[in-house]
Amino acid sequence: MTVLVTGAGGFIGGHLVGHFIAEGTPVRAVDVKPLDEWYQVWPDAENVIADCSDPAAAHKVAVGTDDIYNLAADMGGMGFIENNKAECMLSVLTSTNMLLAARDAGTSRFFYSSSACVYNGAKQTDPNVTALKEEDAYPGDPEDGYGWEKLFSERMARHFREDYGLQTRVARFHNVYGPHGTWEGGREKAPAALSRKVAAVKLGLADDIEIWGDGEQTRSFMYIDDCVRGTTEILAGDFTDPVNLGSAELVTINQMVDILEDIADIKVDRRYDLTAPQGVRGRNSDNTLFHSVYGWEPSTTLHDGLEKTYAWIYDQMTERSTA
C-alpha cells in the first residue's frame, strides 16, 4: 500500500509522514515549497515538490496511491486567516483537484483535514462556551474565508463518496500544536507564538510579552501525537461523517501563559493588545461522538505538550542566537 500525504512540508504533514516511515509504510510526501523549507524531510519517503492546486500536478502525484491524506492548505494562526481571507479560500482549488485526482486514480480512501473554524460563530461568543458538537456547524456561519472553504470542502468530500464511491473521511482539527512547526513569521498559532515570546524573555531578548486581546478568550489545544493517531484511525474506520478531533481541556490564553511561566521557571510582564485579531470568544471540542466511535479521545495535557513545544522552540532560538 502506498500513502500520499499532501502538505507534507508543513507541521502536521511532516509528523504524519514520520508516522508512516516508522511503521514501514511506503509514503509519497508532497508539498509546494522547496525541500529546504519543509519542517521535516524524511529521506525514506518519496519526496516530491508539486503544486496540488494545479490539476495536472494533482493527478500526477495521486497515481498509484491507495490512501490520500490531503493536508495541503494556505493557512496559519488567527492573525493570518483574518487578514488573508482570499488566500485561504483559494485552498478550494487544492481540495477540489485532489478529490478529482483521487477519484481518477482509483484511490481507495481520502482524508480531508477540516477545522473547528467551520462552526457557527453565534455558538462561540462566550469564553465559558458549551463544547461544540458536530451538528453545531449548521446553520452555516463559519470563520469568514478559511472556515467557509473548509465547510464547502467537507460537503464536496461527502458528495464524492456518495456519487463516485471514493471513501472520504473528514476530521475537524481543534488547534493542533507541537514541535517542528511554525513558531514565527505571522502564521504561527497561539501555543507556538506564546512559547516564543516567553522564551525571548528567558533568553534576555525581550522585557515582556504581548498578548492579543484581554487573554480571557478560551480554546482547547491538541498535541500533535494525538492528532496523528486520530487522523490515521479516522481514515481507517467506517464512520463517514465529519468528526471532532481535539482536546476537551479548555483554557484561557492567560492560563496558557501561566503554564509556560511554570515550564520556563520565569514570571513575565504582560501587555495586552485589544486591537489585535482574536477570533471567537470561546471554542472547545465536544468529544462525545469521537469517543463513542473510536473508544478514546486526545488526552495529552496542555502542560505536557507545551513542555515539549517550548523546549523545541527555545532550542531553535538558542541556536539562532549562537549562530
Check pLDDT > 80 for residue 260.
yes
3-class DSSP assignment, residue 178: coil
Using pLDDT thresholds of 50, 70 and 90, give the confidence band for residue 283: very high
- What DSSP line would sit under 100-113, residue for residue? HHHHHHT-SEEEEE
Neighbours of 201 (CB within 10 A): 18
Is the distance from CB of 245 to CB of 227 less than 8 angstroms?
Answer: yes
Closest CA to 312 of 241, 263, 242: 263
CATH 3.40.50.720 in the chain, residues? Answer: 3-175+224-245
C-alpha span between 212 and 277 (Å, rounded):
7
Task: Find the angle CA(146)-CA(157)-CA(32) to the nearest 5 degrees.
Answer: 55
Predicted confidence (pLDDT) per residue in 136-155, tens digit: 999 999 999 999 999 999 99
Q: Which residues contact 195 (CB under 8 A, 6 or more apart)?
A: 183, 260, 306, 309, 310, 313, 314
- What DSSP line would sit under 89-140, residue for residue? HTHHHHHHHHHHHHHHHT-SEEEEEEEGGGS-GGG--SSSPPPBPGGGG-S-
112 is a catalytic site residue:
no
Tell whether domain 190-219+249-322 is in CATH 3.90.25.10.
yes
Q: Which residues contact 166 (CB under 8 A, 6 or more apart)?
A: 99, 102, 103, 107, 109, 110, 160
Residue 289's pLDDT is what? Answer: 98
CATH 3.90.25.10 in the chain, residues? Answer: 190-219+249-322
Predicted confidence (pLDDT) per residue in 13-28, tens digit: 999 999 999 999 999 9
For 184-197, what is the mean pLDDT?
A: 94
C-alpha span between 206 and 266 (Å, rounded):
13
Neighbours of 37 (CB within 10 A): 11
When comparing pLDDT for 115 and 322, which is higher? 115
Check pLDDT > 90 for residue 76.
no
Q: Which of 3.40.50.720, 3.90.340.10, 3.30.1360.120, 3.40.50.1970 is the CATH number of 3-175+224-245?
A: 3.40.50.720
C-alpha span between 246 and 300 (Å, rounded):
10
pTM: 0.95
For 151-171, what is the mean pLDDT?
A: 98
Neighbours of 167 (CB within 10 A): 16
Using pLDDT thresholds of 50, 70 and 90, give the confidence band for residue 79: confident
Question: Which member of 112, 119, 146, 223 is catalytic?
Answer: 146
